[in-house]
């Protein structure tokens, strides 16, 4: 029949399926910064629950130190980690606990066969232990078998950090915590942080792992109220979601900030890292007081450590500086032009860069070509002209930037921190002058200690960048490689394997050249920094060698004196017996002696010279010989006196007005 297809229904379907489909239009999507960092949280150090707990503590502590130091206030930081059990966490989020109905459904379910196998293994272990006890062998204490934790079970912690810093403006708090990539650390200066991510990443991790908001309390100087804010973050829109934002009464006139966040974490695996971090922070900031607490339902797990302040001398606040012309790129030049208040090219070069004065700026403009003049308006420069300026700035010669904008810890604080936390037998410190890497100034400080409490044998490396401890990825770091491979410790009378050696290196700069996204180590491929680190450690070792040699000579001197003194009683007894026999022979007129000898023998006969007298005289002679040998050594080596290590620490209770005159390794204080 016309108009009717002869194809079967199946064939018709096949024909239909082969019809090409139109591709869907590709939609352009955009991610917010918060969404990006939530998906790539390892960039900010939130790799896993344990590392996230450590990073949260670290970021909150460093923000607190920055806040107090910015107003020249001696920092007091209280950090508390409170363990939250599953039931308590469920009640916090309004979830009712539910008993398991189908146990086999869960990841930690143990089958009957697996249970029998485990019990048999435990029985064999107990039987072996009983045999060892019967044979009198030492037996390790057996612990209760660990109960397997399912993948779905997590540990939660409330982290609270309280400080005495400057606080935060009431209206700025939501954006300071709820908007990623907004912060106050974007100028060119030495800062502990760089991206403004710290507390915000803790908030993002809290939202991902618990869904609970962050709580902030803050009060500024001359402010009669406390700002309280409870908020979380809208990940997709990168804006704060405020639950509560109010002003509360400040009866105690408290000033500072307190941040509280509930996150998933792992205290068990990262306990040592967190405590190690707090100890290293106490070394590099001895002017701060830290109180660290871990609170758990099990009292035996509780931890409370107070790192006391040992000085009230703080490093100067790092100053913001201008860019060095050799360190800028094309994009930065465009941004500086867009932000500058200067009208012409001459003023722009003079005021937006360091180390370019008027005459040098005129020489640079003359070198740029006929299209440029001192009065050229910077806003009118073309893209080609900007490229020409960039090329010239890269190729021209400029003086190195000074290190005045940097704020190193200082030898005084570094030495005091090492002594306070490690109690070494001896310590040496060194602070280098400012050097330059890619147009950025940097200073390397170092300390080397020998001996001490809680210090392992061999090299113990402590690394700091902009006065914050670096604990991870140590093996590839420039400090570790230099200490292990480039320092010949034996030439400084230090045993690299047996001695307890502490190596402390602090690097400060307007730009720390970290390797990797985690900002945990400084690469070994930067010649300027590697050389400066090696030289700083060597200078410490030279100081220590002098002390060690003198200590060895003093030990040898004591040993020699001890050996001589040991034979004094026998020698004096033998001499006295000989003199006594000689006196008896002289009395019998069998032997005649000279006048001096006769006088000596008379004193022996009349007991004016006894064995004790000889012992005393010999002891004095040993002392005199020992003193003369030490004096001869000092004259030859040019050493007049053993260098003193005494450090006088000012009481912090007394409130005095004073002026500090700071030098690299001491502080001279004038009381008014």
List Cβ neighbours of 154 (8 Å cut-off, separation of 6 or more). Answer: 49, 209, 264
User: 330-395 is classed in which CATH architecture?
Assistant: Orthogonal Bundle (1.10)
Question: Residue 582: which of 563, 567, 601 has the closest Cα?
Answer: 601
CATH number of this structure's domain 411-540, picked from the four choices 3.40.50.300, 2.70.98.10, 3.30.230.10, 3.40.50.2300? 3.30.230.10
Which residues sit in the known binding site for ATP?
A: 63, 163, 184-185, 193-200, 519
Q: Is 84 exposed, middle or buried (0-12, 13-18, 19+ CB in 10 A)?
A: buried
| CA dist list (Å): 145 to 119, 122, 242, 362 | 11, 9, 46, 79
pLDDT tens by residue, 243-294: 999 999 988 889 999 999 999 999 999 999 999 999 999 999 999 999 999 9
Indicate if the pLDDT at residue 622 is higher than 70. yes
CA–centroid distance for 305 within its chain: 17
Is residue 1 very low, low, confident or very high in pLDDT (cuts 50, 70, 90)? very low
Indicate if the pLDDT at residue 641 is higher than 60. no
CATH number of this structure's domain 33-91+153-307, picked from the four choices 3.30.450.20, 3.30.565.10, 2.40.10.170, 3.40.440.10? 3.30.565.10
User: Which one has a higher pLDDT value, 492 or 101?
Assistant: 492
Residue 5 has a pLDDT of: 47
* CATH 1.10.8.50 segments of the chain: 330-395
Which residues sit in the known binding site?
A: 63, 163, 184-185, 193-200, 519
Residue 143 has a pLDDT of: 53
Q: What is the mean pLDDT of the chain?
A: 81
User: Which one has a higher pLDDT value, 484 or 556?
Assistant: 484
User: Which one has a higher pLDDT value, 627 or 219?
Assistant: 219
Residue 209 has a pLDDT of: 87
DSSP 140: P
Query: Cβ atoms within 10 A of the Cβ of 608, count?
Result: 10
Round to the nearest angstrom and report the end-to-end CA distance of the chain: 119
Task: Dump the DSSP string for 593-623.
Answer: --HHHHHHHHHHHTTSS-HHHHHHHHHHHHH
Q: State the Cα–Cα distance between residues 486 and 606, nearest whole angstrom.
A: 71
Indicate if the pLDDT at residue 3 is higher than 70. no
| pTM for this model (two decimals) | 0.74
Question: Residue 640: which of 630, 653, 655 has the closest Cα?
Answer: 630
* CATH 3.30.565.10 segments of the chain: 33-91+153-307
Task: Dump the DSSP string for 239-253.
Answer: EEEEEEEEEEE-TT-
């Amino acid at each position: 029949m016309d108009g009717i297809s002869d194809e079967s229904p199946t064939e018709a379907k096949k024909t239909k399926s082969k019809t090409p489909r139109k591709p869907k239009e590709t939609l352009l999507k955009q991610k917010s910064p918060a969404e990006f960092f939530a998906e790539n949280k390892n960039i900010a150090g939130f790799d896993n629950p344990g590392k996230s707990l450590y990073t949260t503590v670290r970021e909150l502590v460093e923000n607190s130190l920055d806040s107090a130091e910015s107003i020249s206030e001696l920092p007091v930081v209280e950090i508390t980690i409170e363990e939250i059990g599953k039931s308590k966490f469920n009640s916090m989020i309004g979830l009712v606990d539910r008993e398991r109905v189908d146990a086999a459904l869960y990841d930690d379910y143990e089958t009957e066969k697996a249970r029998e196998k485990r019990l048999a293994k435990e029985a064999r272990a107990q039987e072996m232990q009983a045999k060892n006890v019967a044979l009198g062998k030492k037996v390790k204490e057996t612990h209760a078998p660990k109960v397997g934790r399912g993948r779905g079970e997590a540990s939660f912690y409330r982290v609270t950090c309280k400080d005495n810093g400057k606080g935060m403006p009431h209206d700025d708090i939501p954006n300071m915590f709820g908007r990623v990539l907004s912060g106050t650390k974007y100028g060119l200066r030495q800062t502990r942080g760089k991206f403004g991510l710290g507390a915000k990443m803790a908030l993002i991790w809290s939202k991902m792992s618990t869904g609970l908001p962050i709580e902030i309390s803050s009060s500024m100087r001359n402010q009669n109220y406390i700002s309280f804010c409870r908020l979380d973050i809208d990940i997709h829109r990168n804006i704060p979601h405020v639950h509560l934002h109010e002003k509360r009464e400040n009866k105690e006139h408290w000033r500072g900030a307190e941040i509280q966040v509930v996150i998933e974490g792992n205290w068990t695996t990262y306990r040592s890292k967190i405590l190690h971090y707090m100890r290293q922070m106490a070394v590099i900031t001895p002017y701060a007081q830290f109180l660290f607490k871990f609170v758990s339902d099990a009292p035996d797990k509780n931890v409370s450590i107070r790192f006391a302040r040992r000085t009230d001398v703080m490093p100067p606040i790092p100053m913001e500086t201008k860019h060095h012309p050799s360190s800028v790129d094309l994009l930065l030049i465009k941004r500086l032009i867009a932000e500058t208040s200067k009208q012409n090219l001459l003023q722009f070069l003079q005021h937006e860069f360091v180390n370019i004065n008027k005459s040098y700026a005129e020489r640079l403009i003359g070198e740029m070509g006929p299209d440029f003049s001192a009065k050229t308006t910077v806003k009118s420069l073309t893209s080609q002209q900007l490229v020409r300026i960039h090329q010239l700035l890269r190729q021209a010669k400029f003086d190195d930037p000074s290190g005045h904008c940097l704020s190193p810890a200082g030898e005084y604080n570094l030495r005091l921190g090492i002594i306070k936390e490690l109690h070494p037998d001896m310590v040496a410190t060194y602070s280098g002058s400012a050097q330059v890497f890619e147009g950025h100034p940097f200073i390397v400080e170092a300390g080397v200690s020998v001996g001490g409490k809680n210090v392992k044998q061999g090299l113990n490396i402590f690394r700091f960048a902009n006065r914050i401890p670096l604990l991870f990825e140590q093996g590839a770091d420039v400090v570790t490689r230099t200490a292990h491979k480039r320092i010949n410790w034996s030439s400084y009378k230090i045993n690299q394997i047996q001695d307890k050696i502490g190596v402390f290196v602090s690097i400060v700069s307007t730009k720390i050249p970290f390797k990797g996204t985690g900002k945990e180590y400084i690469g070994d491929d930067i010649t300027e920094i590697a050389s400066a680190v090696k030289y700083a450690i060597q200078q410490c070792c030279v100081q220590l060698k002098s002390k060690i040699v003198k200590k060895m000579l003093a030990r040898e001197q004591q040993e020699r004196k001890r050996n001589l003194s040991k034979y004094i009683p026998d020698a004096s007894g033998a001499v006295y017996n000989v003199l006594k026999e000689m006196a008896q022979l002289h009395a019998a007129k069998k032997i005649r002696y000279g006048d001096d000898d006769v006088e000596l023998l008379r004193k022996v006969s009349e007991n004016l010279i006894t064995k004790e007298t000889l012992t005393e005289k010999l002891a004095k002679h040993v002392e005199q010989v020992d003193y003369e040998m030490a004096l001869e050594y000092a004259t030859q080596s040019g050493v007049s006196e053993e260098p003193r290590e005494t450090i006088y620490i000012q009481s912090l209770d007394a409130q005095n007005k004073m002026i500090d005159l700071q030098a690299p390794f001491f502080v001279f204080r004038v009381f008014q």
